[in-house]
């Protein structure tokens, strides 16, 4: 990652605590792939979703539009609207 003291830093308790907190947060969100992006509470995983992530960041209400809703699968994090 380009950190000159990375090998030493990984042994620091605050670094370990941050890693543990990040993993717990990811599990609570339902992350199951990498990379995972969270935009406006919506999860996107895989580098192939980056164009959509950027589009959603610029157009936050796009996922709520009628043209997108039928394509969004039901799930605990973003159930389909009826």
* pLDDT tens digits for range 1-49: 678 888 899 899 999 999 999 999 999 988 888 899 888 888 888 899 8
Tell whether 66 and 80 lie within a shared domain. yes
Whether the predicted model's global pTM rises above the 0.85 cut: no
Tell whether 48 and 69 lie within a shared domain. yes
Tell whether 56 and 78 lie within a shared domain. yes
Tell whether 73 and 48 lie within a shared domain. yes
Tell whether 41 and 15 lie within a shared domain. no
Domain of 8, in residue numbers = 1-30
Tell whether 49 and 82 lie within a shared domain. yes
2-12: buried (b, 16+ CB within 10 Å) or exposed (e) per residue?
Answer: eeeeeeeeeee
């Amino acid at each position: 990652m380009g950190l000159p003291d990375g090998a030493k830093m990984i042994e620091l308790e605050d670094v370990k605590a941050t890693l543990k907190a990040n993993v717990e947060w990811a599990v609570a969100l339902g992350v199951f792939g990498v990379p995972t992006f969270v935009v406006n509470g919506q999860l996107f995983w895989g580098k192939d979703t980056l164009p959509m992530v950027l589009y959603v960041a610029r157009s936050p209400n796009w996922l709520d539009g009628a043209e997108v809703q039928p394509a969004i699968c039901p799930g605990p994090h973003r159930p389909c609207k009826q």
